[in-house]
Each structure stands twice: as structure tokens, then as C-alpha cells.
Structure 1
Amino acid sequence: MQRNKKYAGRFIAVLALAMLLVLSACGRNSAGTIVEGKVNVVTTFYPIYEFASAIGGEDANVINLLPTGVEPHDWTPRGQDIVNTSKAQLFFYNGAGLEGWVPDFLKGLDAGSKVKAVEVSKGVDLILTTEDDGHNHGAAEEGHHHEGEEHSEEGHAEESVDAKHTDPHTWVSPKSALIMAQNIRDSLIEADPEHKAGYEERYAALSGKLKELDTEFTEKLSAVPNKEIVVSHQAFGYLARDYGLKQHAIMGLSPDAEPRAQDMLNLAKLVKEEGIRYIFFEELVSDKLAKTLAGEAGVETLVLNPVEGLTQQQAKDGDDYFSLMRNNLQNLLLALQ
């Protein structure tokens, strides 16, 4: 018992140091400008921007609010973002609790604005979890809890089991991304019926790529012998649910939700007991906690990208949703053999 207390104390000290190094939001860049004569679309973060740009093509001017290299969970808009959105025809946001600032943002738009706000995750079978993200993101009424995600339960007895929170990371599964793309297509056609044929044609190309990606994930992950993954933050619930995996997260639904030391101890024990060989981390937030856990458990780290945004280098290299998701698949196959 004394040895366990001493180990826990040392682990808490390492954990505290790691938390100090968790990445905060990076600097901002200009979001873009309104273009006359086109459908102007404002998107809240990268995956929606990519899908809207692909479907909109030359008929739409798509402005992304979130700058390159910035993690979206705690980002908030500026005055210029309100100006641009007030002049746009469409405002695409993920919903499902990701962008907690949206209601106040929409109230702040110019009184004469005719922009239509569209929650692009509408229609996705949302995952509800009792795990909070530390910021009350995704707070939801009590409802059915879908499987496909796991976070250390021990040490949480003081929390109400009735407190449900929506997992907002819908786009991380190609199956959900396809629904999001359909919502974007329908909204563009409604706003600009004159260019319906172009939107339909470009959507067909995008949906074909998403279906191909879905097939790759389905076939390859169904063949792996192991199904347990340990990730830095709880962003892979939809991926896990749709492709037969089980995620264990160091942090909650937000990547800066502080983990409990007991959770870290439980995860280190799980990693050893299950023979898990890799701890996954992501590029837009610090890898310190993942490396801390990996060091304690005697395993290695790999990237698993929630595709919330591009790093500066990824943008320079021409990476996109599909290249990042295929990198994810390759790393999952390596870790789960």
C-alpha cells in the first residue's frame, strides 16, 4: 500500500509538469474575405471547410474561421468573423456541442444579415457519454449511451451518472462525414439552385471518396487481432463505434480537460495487462501526457489525428482529410497487430 502511494505521488508530480506544457491556441491568420457574385460560405473549422470547398467548387467562396495550426475546442471568434458571417449566405458549423460560442455569435450578427446557419452534423447518430470535457462542451439531456468509447471510470464516483455529454467528433468517422457532406450539398443547392448540377456532380465525387475510405477502414480494421486503443483525448468515439474498436482516453472530450492521476494509473495498468504497444497522440496539442503515460507503461507513441485542423507543415505539404485519415489507418494497423 505504501509503495502504491509513493508511486501515485511520483506520477502526480510528473503529470502536473506535463499539464503545464499542454499547448495553448496559436496565433491567428486572416480568415478570408467576402466575394461578390458567389455564394459566400463561412465554416467553423477544417473538415467542414474541406467538404464545403470540394462541393462548392468554383460556384462558392468558402471562408474558414479557424486559422491553420489552431485546435478548435476553445477557440472563439473575433469581430471580423462576425462582419464576414453577417455578409455571407451560409454559415456551416459542426454542432453536437463542439462550438459552444455559436449561439452568442449568431445573436451578434448584423440585424440585416440573411445568413442561414446550418448544423452539418444533423442526422448523425450522436454518441452520448457521461464523461465531461472540463468545459461543459456538448452538455446534453439524459439519453441513450452509444458504445464505442471508454474513459477510466475509477475515481469518478462523485460524478453524477445522469450527466450526459455529446461527443462532438462526428467527422472522424467516414460514415458520419458522408452525412455531413450530404447536409452541405443540400444547403448549397437550396441557397444557389442555379448551380445545382455542379454541386451534385462535385458531391458525387466527394461521396465516392468517402465511401472508398469507409470500405478501407471496414475491411482492414475488421482483420486486426486487437481492438483496444489508448488515445490522448476522447476524439475517436465515432471511429471506434463504426469500426469495432474500443478507445481509452487520457483526457476527456476536450484535449485540455485535465486527467486525474488515478485515471493515468488505471490506464498504465490497462496498457500492461492488455499488451497495448502504443499510446496515440495528436499534433495540434501537446504530446507530453501521452509520452508520460507511455514512459510509465514502457510502450511507444504514435500519431492518431482527429483531423480537427492542419498544422502549418501539413498545409504546406498539401495534406487533406483523406491523406490524414489514411495515415490514421496505417498507424492503427501497426498498433493493433
Structure 2
Amino acid sequence: MRWGRFFAIFICALTVLGLGEVYAAALKVFVTLAPQKEFVERLGGDRVQVMVLVPSGADPHTFEPSPGQMKALADASLFFPIGIPFEKKLIPRIGSLNPQLKIVPMDQGLPKRFLTGHQHGREEAGRGEKEHAHEKAEGNSREAAASGHEPHVHEEGEPDPHVWLSPPLVMAMARTTVLALMAADPEDRAGYEARYKQFLSDVAALDLEIFKTFQEAKPPRAFYVFHPSWGYFADAYGLEQVAVESEGKEAKPVHLKEIITSARRAGVKTLFVQPQFSTRSAEMVAKEIGAQLEVIDPLAEKWMDNLRQVSRRLREAMP
């Protein structure tokens, strides 16, 4: 009995040690935002250990990495920035701490829209469901993403960083990401390729599902938000995002008056806000419009589930 117990403990110890070795061997990868974590984990599987810089509920506009995060970055193999402004100052700092760190912008090569007051999406004229699904399934590069859903580009304002909210653009980012992972971990090339194909298939299915969600919505297919985070999403599905904030900043009185007037005229009943920002100003606008506030989170970790849920809520807010 005593020997049997000792043997069981010995086997458990070996198992724990084995798991520790697998975990230690995993590629240490940093991403900026929680949605990126799903992308890298889906593409990397158990070959990666993914850490997120901006924690849940934090505002990426004012975020500052902690000393602990900077230390962890110094031990990482890969970092995938995504175009958030604070990354510009961060990248030189971590480069000096860890010259071996491979920094691969996940948004590289993507067409960018610019933050303005009213954010207008674009109709996908002449695109049937079959063609749409086929293009997304095969569109495993940024060419397919850009050609099928070309965003409006304005000269004024700042580049809109919210590229992860467009499934077609995520397919392009997936290619950039998987190539970087394979370069850092060439021993599992076949595994990365298989996970990449499956991820593209899942994103294409989500893309088609969202497309169908808005297919029967009547023009202008508009939704009202306080912070203009959903422009790329609107571009992808022929929607119109109307933002209270102008260029991502507090709205001027003239712009605010226009928004309130247009919202009243359109009979808007819902103003969408996000949990990273105070809702005090949004509550005042909603009261003027006669609308209720509803929270949708562009930074939610479960990216696919979140976009599926958000699309339904936006559709319910439309006529």
C-alpha cells in the first residue's frame, strides 16, 4: 500500500515536471489588446504563451505599461503592436531592453480610415451571399480584405486604430501573424498552417453570418455611438456609424447640435457606449435625444463571440 502510494506520487511529479517543460518551451508572445490574444492563441495553439498589455477595462489612449510588464516584455520572443498611439513610445523602450525581441505590427499593410465626426460605411453593391462567402474563405490575404471592403479615407483627423473590429481585415492580420509565428518557431510549420486555415474558415463563417444579420436592414442602416470605434466594422457591412465624438475627441457645440437633431429626426432610441470611458457626457446626449445607453465593448477578449453579439444588438437598434 505504501509503495503504491509512493509510485502514484512519483508519476504525478513526473507529469507536472513534463507540463512545466512544455509550458517553458512555449513561445512567449505579447499583444497590445485582448482581442489579439484570441487571434494568436488560435494560430499558435499550445506553441505560444500569450500576454496582453492593456488589461480589461483600461483605456488604451492613456495606458502606461507597468514595470512588471516591461520586465516580461524583455523576456518575450514576439510582440504584435496594432497601431494604438501609445505603442509609438513603447516600441523604442522595449527595443533597448530586449534587442532580440521581434516586433511585428499586426496591422502592417492594412488600408486605414481616419477618425472624423460622422463615420460613414459603404454599401457592398452587387455582392451576393455566395460570392461574399467564397471571397472571404479564399481571401486569406490583405488583397481580398482590401478589395472587398474598401474603407472611406478622409484627409482630416487621426488614423483609426480599430482594425480588429473588421473580420476581413482580421483575415489579413492572421496571415501577418502566422508568418511571424512560423519564422520564430519553424519546427511546427504544418501545425501553424493547419490552424491558420481553420481560423480563416471560422472568420469567414462569422463574416457571412454578420453580413446576413444586416442584409434586410433598411438604408441608411445607421447606428449611433459616443466613441467612434466601429468604423471598420461599418465599412465591412455597408453600415453608417454616427459618432458623437468628433475625431475621437469631445464634440464641439455645433457638431453636437447636428448629432442631436439628426438623431431625433431618425427616431434613434439607442446610443452605444463602451466600458472604458465615463458615460456622464453620453447620458446627457442620450437624454436630449430621448434614447437609452447600451454598452458594447470593442476590446472584449472573446472576439468572435463579441462581434456576433454586437452585430445583433446593432441590428436591433435599427429600423
TM-score computed with the length of structure 2 as normaliser: 0.76
Percent identical residues: 26
Tell me which of 178, 183, 194 is aligned to 1:201: 194
For residues 155 and 199 of structure 2, what CA distance do their matches in structure 1 show?
Answer: 39
Aligned AA (1:325): L
CA shift, 1:248, in A, is 1.3
Counterpart of 2:244 in 1: which secondary structure? strand
- Residue deviations 1:174-214 (CA, integer Å, cap 9, x gap): 11111112211111011111011222222222222211111
Alignment of 1:238 onto 2:226: no
Distance 1:282 1:204 in 2: 32
Equivalent of 1:85 in 57, 66, 73: 73
Q: Are the counterparts in 1 of residues 244 and 259 from structure 2 also a CA contact under 8 Å?
A: yes
1:215 paired with 2:205, answer: no
Structure 1 counterpart of 2:310: 328
Question: Using a 3 Å threshold, how does the CA distance of structure 1 residues 199 and 147 change in structure 2: closer, same or farther?
Answer: closer
What secondary structure is seen at the aligned counterpart in 1 of 2:79? strand
Q: Please say which of residues 106-115 and 232-241 is displaced more in the overlay.
A: 106-115
CA deviation after TM superposition for structure 1 residue 147, in Å: 5.4
2:152 & 2:293 partners in 1: Cα distance?
Answer: 22
Could you say which residue in structure 1 is the equivalent of 2:290?
A: 298
Query: What's the RMSD between the two structures over aligned residues?
Result: 2.3
Gaps of 5+ in 2: 1-22, 118-149
> Corresponding residue for 2:61?
73
Corresponding position of 1:124: 110
**Largest Rg, 1 or 2:** 2
Residue 192 (structure 1) aligned with residue 185 (structure 2)? yes
Deviation at 1:112, TM superposition (A): 5.4
> Contact 1:178–1:207 (CA<8 Å) still a contact in 2?
yes
Consecutive unaligned residues of structure 1, counting only runs of 5 or more, are 1-34, 132-145, 150-160, 311-319
Please list the CA deviations of residues 99-148 of structure 1 after superposition, one character each: whole Å capped at 9, or x if unmatched.
333344433444553111011011322113456xxxxxxxxxxxxxx755
Q: Distance in 2 between matches of 1:104 and 1:123?
A: 21
Q: Is contact 2:77-2:100 (8 Å) kept?
A: yes
Q: 1:83·1:109 contact (CA, 8 Å) conserved in 2?
A: no
- Structure 1 CA distance for aligned equivalents of residues 161 and 89 of structure 2: 16
Partner of 1:140: none
Give the TM-score, by structure 1 length.
0.72
Q: What's 2:243 paired with?
A: 249
Q: 1:305 Cα shift?
A: 2.7
CA contact (8 A) 2:157 2:247 kept: no
Matching of residues 1-337 of structure 1 within 5 Å: 36-95=24-83, 98-110=84-96, 113-129=99-115, 163-226=156-219, 227-252=221-246, 254=248, 257-306=249-298, 308-310=299-301, 320-337=302-319
Structure 2 Cα separation of the partners of residues 275 and 130 of structure 1: 23
More helix by share: 2
2:274 & 2:160 partners in 1: Cα distance?
A: 18
How many residue pairs match? The answer is: 264
Equivalent residue, structure 1, for 2:144 = none
The one-letter code of the counterpart of 2:285 is: L
Residue 309 of structure 1: how far off its partner (Å): 3.8
- TM-fit CA distance, 1:252: 4.1
